Amino acid sequence: MARLHEMTALEIAASIGAREVSVEEVALYFLERIGRLDGSLRSFIRTVPERAVAAAVALDRRLAGEVSARRAGGLFGVPFAVKDNICTRGIPTTCASRILESFVPPYDATVVRRMYEAGLVLLGKTNMDEFAMGSSCENSAFFETRNPWNLETVPGGSSGGSAAAVAAGLVPFALGSDTGGSVRQPAALCGIVGLKPTYGAVSRYGLVAFASSLDQIGPLTRDVADCAAVMNVIAGHDEMDSTSAPLPSRDYSARLGADIRGIRVGVPREYMGEGAEPGVRSCVRDALGVLEDLGAVVEECALPHTEYALSAYYLIAPAEASSNLARYDGVRYGLREDAAEVHQMYERTRRRGFGPEVKRRIMLGTYALSSGYYDAYYLKALKVRTLVKRDFDIAFEKYDVLVGPTSPTVAFPIGSKTGDPVKMYLSDVFSVPVNLAGVPAISVPCGLHDGLPVGLQMIGRPFEEDFLLMVAHAYEQAAGTSRLRPRMVSEG
Amino acid sequence: MDSATAAEFEPVIGLEVHVELKTKSKIFCPCPTKFGAEPNTQVCPVCLGLPGVLPVLNEGAVELAVMAALALNCDIRPSSRFHRKNYFYPDLPKAYQISQYDHPLATGGWIEVGAGASRKRIGIKRLHLEEDAGKLMHEGSIETAARSLVDFNRCGVPLIEIVSEPDISSPEEAKEYLQVLKSILQYAGVSDCRMQEGSLRVDANVSVRPTGSAAFGTRTELKNIGSFRSVVRGLQYEIRRQIEVIRAGGEVLQETRHWDEQREVTVALRGKEEAHDYRYFPEPDLVPLHLDREWVESVRLKLPELPEARKRRFVSDYGLPEYDAGVLTASPSLAEFYERCVGLYGRGEGRPKTVSNWVMGELTRFLNANNIEIEEARVTPSHVVELLRLIEGGSISGKIAKAIFDRMCETGEMPSQIVRREGLGQISDESEIAAVVARVIEENPKVVGDYKSGKAQALGYLVGQVMKATGGRASPGLVNRVLRERLG
């Protein structure tokens, strides 16, 4: 039997189902690994060992009572981690911010509840850029997370803790959130699979809002089959989220392994220009070759409004954030800096509680929504958003899937972009249009450049994740790129 | 301007009315909306605005809002949407209120005020849905409180805001508009409209202009209006103040002013420059609200009879004067009470008018004196009808009936019981009365002499003496007859 940290979530579940290993043993195995290795990686803000073991013991008992282990289903017994902006009842949920350092939610996010109901074991909460604002995990108010492929580089962000933990084999999979690339970009930089589902496919209830019209929770996994299995647990309509699509539940794994001969692949020329570094482009071109070998028809296509997408995103997302983050006022929970008068209390609390990037975006967003500027900035950005969305609609009339790089670069050295916000924002140039359009996209590993992973982004039609996963799975199986692991994993 | 009189100016008034809808649960979460519960016992993560929660629109609130809009003759927009109104205040846990902005639920309605030739339509510009905020409680006065506490029970209770056109031309007309509005909303069953509980709240916009001028003057907004009476008082004060400012050669400033109920003055709260920039933008957590015509029509069918129609029916069916019909139908519960009384008592021989006299007279006086609504009183239509039957059957006099009315309302005891227990029944035994009459004749020889010499009014005095001697319980008809017989 392979070592647990080298196995996929589905393999671990199968092993548990076959009684080769107990849920408790699996949980203890990963907790031990986190304890030993996370000191240098710093991917977790907090682990919950007592809870995890208690839950695992209870699940083992349930398993013993089952007539057939298969009844337990999909990912029964598998440990997981969640980004620290997803609410967990009784466990602090900080958004990697001072202002929420003491906040303990009295409820579980819908995705967490569904995980528990499916018999999965929560190991802990992962690090992130404060309030999911950033692309490197360096904006965490607590500490930086490092990339397991090279500890001097960033893991990407904002779901950097989730990506690093999965890539380092500290947990079989994790959940992140993606507002402008925050699942896909760290997945790309850490050499794992990351999916941003269609807006509305996964409930946002319990995800601490950054930009409500863009946020989606998505899985970070070792391979595509795991990604589909996680979607089977978390996706589906939720009455608690009015923007979750009222669609019947589906089997995201159903089309895995199908032939992709004849599918039409569009390669947006805007994604393959000078914006992406040559090493990244070269890996993506190799991947296109693999797809052609599989019988796909690959053609260049256009998403003409791509160049405006980033600007529109940096108006819409901060505008919504300025409103979403206004509730952190020190009145009811979280940090409070006392003052003689209430407005002074607000000011002191927020000055001390928020980091510089969060403040920058609150100011940007407040400005964009202010009377006199609303039309020129926010409203204009909404119009651009409509055009970006239309680009995708038109492209999908001709192509089944659009393919390009997830991130313009591989993992960059820690500290190399923190002095220049715009340079940092450019990390999201290929991922942001997807959020504006609300369509699903997956990042799968497509090779190494300078010893660091490159991510291939595949974009699909709304609510056709099953098709997207089928294509990604076919590529992954043919290319073998998901088997690449950092030394941290192979060394054990 | 020295010689200018108030008649040279006319006020222009528009009202913004907030009404709490009578839903069982809040607008975006399942918490109950009951008034008067212990602070912070009707709350959940959603109405407390905890991180990560999302609003889900209560369809019941939409239905009541649509019902209100239909009752106010508004057009229901097939598509409306919610916006966020952003501002910091400790009673607002999300630091934004979910409201409607440029796409309200309904527009273009009206109601009618005044009677006869002065009947007039007041336009309703818009009606929209929004959520209520919590309530701050200060230790002592707001200026000196060392601590303030927040009760979030009210936070998330559904509200409709009804904005009138600036069609109102006097403080009294403003009051009448509010009375009619309240009556319609109560009839439609959408709200209790209890101003003292805050389920109906009023802000007033007022300006003055030279009489007959078409242009508007600069307006001020009046806040903290706690009763219909203070609507009139506050507007009267503010109109006077604005006229004085103009007469003195000054300029009215566009500002928000606070009505100080104790001192009976308005005080500037904030000027135009300090006005909040609410940074409205579409609420991304809610989808646009689409209402299809069929559904709206199905709500229209559920709309009960409204005050105007009921008033007309009272005139035609019960033969009541228009005045009576207006008073009785002002509140649905009073009208309902009246109709149940008539149902029990019957319609013949002017009976509906008799019932009207008692309901408008004694019952309304009792309710007003105790400051309660009819549904809070222990009196039922059976009480009133039994009382009327006791009078009709000669068991008690109208005077006795009035005397026991309040006790009946307070205790809920049936009038016949009170009469029996207290021995208040009318004396209709002729021999008993004859004995008293004989004594009165004996004690008043002079008056008897006057009567016999042709002074007819002397009889009245003798009747009075008999009534006095029997504690008002003697049947007046019987007393009259026996006296005449004895006096020959």
pLDDT single digits (tens) A309-351: 999 999 999 999 999 999 999 999 999 999 988 899 999 999 9
Q: CA of B189: how far to CAs of A333, B32, B66, B160, B185, in Å? A: 38, 18, 12, 14, 6
- For residue B1, pLDDT over 60 is answered with no
With contact defined as beta carbons under 8 Å apart, do A368 and A374 qualify? yes
* Band of pLDDT at residue B147, cut at 50, 70 and 90: confident
Distance from CA of A98 to the nearest CA of B (A): 14
Euclidean distance between CA atoms A417 and A412, whole angstroms: 8
With contact defined as beta carbons under 8 Å apart, do A153 and A411 qualify? yes
Distance from CA of A67 to the nearest CA of B (A): 39
Q: With the CA atoms of A249, A253, A254 and A257 taken in that order, what torsion angle do they form, in degrees rounded to the nearest 10? A: 160
Q: Which of A43, A135, A182, A443 is catalytic?
A: A182
Tell me, yes or no, if A205 comes closer than 8 A to chain B by beta carbon: yes
Instruction: Kindly report the number of other CB atoms within 10 A of residue B19's CB atom.
Output: 25
Q: In this complex, which of A93, A241, A369 lies closest to B54 when CB atoms are compared?
A: A241
Interface of A with B in 100-139 (CB under 8 A): 100, 103, 105-107, 109
Which residues of chain B have a CB within 8 Å of the CB of A85? 52
Contact at CB, B284 and A243, closer than 8 angstroms = yes
The tens digit of pLDDT for each residue in A279-314 reads 999 999 999 999 999 999 999 999 999 999 999 999
Is A125 assigned a catalytic role? no
Any idea which residue has 């309660």 for tokens?
B372
Q: Which residues have CB under 8 Å from B418's CB, separation 6+?
A: B404, B407, B408, B424
Is A380 assigned a catalytic role? no
Contact at CB, A371 and B277, closer than 8 angstroms = yes
Contact at CB, A93 and B52, closer than 8 angstroms = yes
Euclidean distance between CA atoms A183 and A41, whole angstroms: 18
Tell me, yes or no, if B268 comes closer than 8 A to chain A by beta carbon: no
Q: Return the higher-pLDDT residue of A63 and A104.
A: A104
The tens digit of pLDDT for each residue in A411-456 reads 999 999 998 888 889 889 999 999 999 999 999 999 999 999 999 9
- For residue A88, pLDDT over 90 is answered with yes
Distance from CA of A323 to the nearest CA of B (A): 7
With contact defined as beta carbons under 8 Å apart, do A234 and A217 qualify? yes
Which residues of chain B have a CB within 8 Å of the CB of A342? 90, 148
- For residue B244, pLDDT over 80 is answered with yes
Cα angle B172, B176, B182 (rounded to 5 degrees) comes to 145
The amino acid at residue A138 is E
Which residues of chain A have a CB within 8 Å of the CB of B48? 332
- For residue B3, pLDDT over 50 is answered with no
Tell me, yes or no, if B309 comes closer than 8 A to chain A by beta carbon: no
Contact at CB, B48 and A332, closer than 8 angstroms = yes
The alpha-helical segments, DSSP class H, found in A79-159 are: 110-117
Q: In this complex, which of B95, B277, B287 lies closest to A329 when CB atoms are compared?
A: B95
HSE toward the beta carbon, residue B107, CA cutoff 13 A: 9
Q: In this complex, which of B51, B55, B56 lies closest to A103 when CB atoms are compared?
A: B51
- For residue B472, pLDDT over 90 is answered with no
Ramachandran angles phi, psi of B76, nearest 5°: -85, 125
DSSP assigned state of B74: P
Confidence (pTM): 0.89
Instruction: Kindly report the number of other CB atoms within 10 A of residue B276's CB atom.
Output: 13
With contact defined as beta carbons under 8 Å apart, do A145 and A127 qualify? yes
Residue of A215, A175, A206 lying closest to A88 (CA atoms): A206
Tell me, yes or no, if B96 comes closer than 8 A to chain A by beta carbon: yes
Residue of A73, A185, A170 lying closest to A124 (CA atoms): A170
**What was the pLDDT predicted at A71?**
53
Q: Which of A15, A22, A83, A417 is catalytic?
A: A83
The amino acid at residue A238 is D
* Band of pLDDT at residue A482, cut at 50, 70 and 90: confident
Mean pLDDT of B150-155: 96
Euclidean distance between CA atoms B411 and B370, whole angstroms: 13
Tell me, yes or no, if A239 comes closer than 8 A to chain B by beta carbon: yes
* Band of pLDDT at residue B449, cut at 50, 70 and 90: confident
With contact defined as beta carbons under 8 Å apart, do B383 and B414 qualify? yes
Q: Return the higher-pLDDT residue of B391 and B31.
A: B31
Mean pLDDT of B470-484: 81
Tell me, yes or no, if B469 comes closer than 8 A to chain A by beta carbon: no
| Concatenated DSSP letters of A197-224 | PPTTTB--TTBPPSSTTT-EEEEEESSH
The amino acid at residue A399 is Y
Euclidean distance between CA atoms A484 and A452, whole angstroms: 10
Tell me, yes or no, if A202 comes closer than 8 A to chain B by beta carbon: no
Q: In this complex, which of A242, A371, A374 lies closest to B54 when CB atoms are compared?
A: A242
Tell me, yes or no, if A310 comes closer than 8 A to chain B by beta carbon: no
Tell me, yes or no, if B364 comes closer than 8 A to chain A by beta carbon: no
The amino acid at residue B127 is L
Euclidean distance between CA atoms B73 and B76, whole angstroms: 9
Interface of B with A in 276-305 (CB under 8 A): 277, 279-281, 284-287
**What was the pLDDT predicted at B4?**
43
Q: Return the higher-pLDDT residue of B474 and B303.
A: B303
ipTM of the complex: 0.95
Tell me, yes or no, if A99 comes closer than 8 A to chain B by beta carbon: no
Is A158 assigned a catalytic role? yes
Which of these ranges, A202-211, B316-325, B459-468, has the smallest mean pLDDT? Answer: B459-468
The token duo for A80 is: 């997981």
Euclidean distance between CA atoms B126 and B165, whole angstroms: 9
Contact at CB, B94 and A326, closer than 8 angstroms = yes
Euclidean distance between CA atoms B61 and B22, whole angstroms: 8
Distance from CA of A113 to the nearest CA of B (A): 14
Q: Which of B31, B152, B279 is most worth mutating to test chain A (most A CB atoms within 10 A of its CB)?
A: B279
Q: Which of A179, A203, A238, A324 is most worth mutating to test chain B (most B CB atoms within 10 A of its CB)?
A: A324
**What was the pLDDT predicted at B5?**
52
* Band of pLDDT at residue B2, cut at 50, 70 and 90: very low
Q: In this complex, which of A205, A319, A366 lies closest to B54 when CB atoms are compared?
A: A205
With contact defined as beta carbons under 8 Å apart, do A161 and A171 qualify? no
The tens digit of pLDDT for each residue in B39-74 reads 999 999 999 999 999 999 999 999 999 999 999 999
Euclidean distance between CA atoms A252 and A247, whole angstroms: 13
Mean pLDDT of B122-135: 97
Could you state, in order of their start, the residue ranges of all structural domains in chain B? 14-207+283-298, 305-422, 430-487
Q: Which residues have CB under 8 Å from A426's CB, separation 6+?
A: A275, A310, A408
**What was the pLDDT predicted at B400?**
83
Tell me, yes or no, if B55 comes closer than 8 A to chain A by beta carbon: yes
Peptide bond into A158 cis (omega under 30): yes
Q: In this complex, which of B50, B86, B150 lies closest to A323 when CB atoms are compared?
A: B86
Averaged confidence pLDDT in chain A = 95
Which of these ranges, A181-185, A208-212, B3-7, has the smallest mean pLDDT? Answer: B3-7
The token duo for A304 is: 């003409």
Q: What is the third-level CATH fold of B430-487?
A: Arc Repressor Mutant, subunit A (1.10.10)
Distance from CA of B28 to the nearest CA of A (A): 10
Tell me, yes or no, if B50 comes closer than 8 A to chain A by beta carbon: yes
The token duo for A101 is: 């350092």
Euclidean distance between CA atoms B268 and B220, whole angstroms: 9
- For residue B117, pLDDT over 70 is answered with yes
Percent of chain B whose predicted confidence (pLDDT) is above 70: 98
- The chain B residue lying nearest A85, using CA atoms, is B52
Contact at CB, A241 and B51, closer than 8 angstroms = no
Contact at CB, B281 and A374, closer than 8 angstroms = yes
Contact at CB, B90 and A331, closer than 8 angstroms = yes
Euclidean distance between CA atoms B48 and B93, whole angstroms: 6
To 10 degrees, what angle do helices B307-318 and B322-329 make?
140
Q: Mind listing the domains of chain A with CATH numbers?
A: 4-262 (3.90.1300.10), 306-383 (no CATH)
Euclidean distance between CA atoms A125 and A32, whole angstroms: 16
Q: In this complex, which of A100, A342, A378 lies closest to B51 when CB atoms are compared?
A: A100
- For residue B431, pLDDT over 90 is answered with no
With contact defined as beta carbons under 8 Å apart, do A185 and A200 qualify? no
Q: CA of B123: how far to CAs of B111, B126, B207, B300, B322, in Å? A: 7, 9, 17, 20, 25
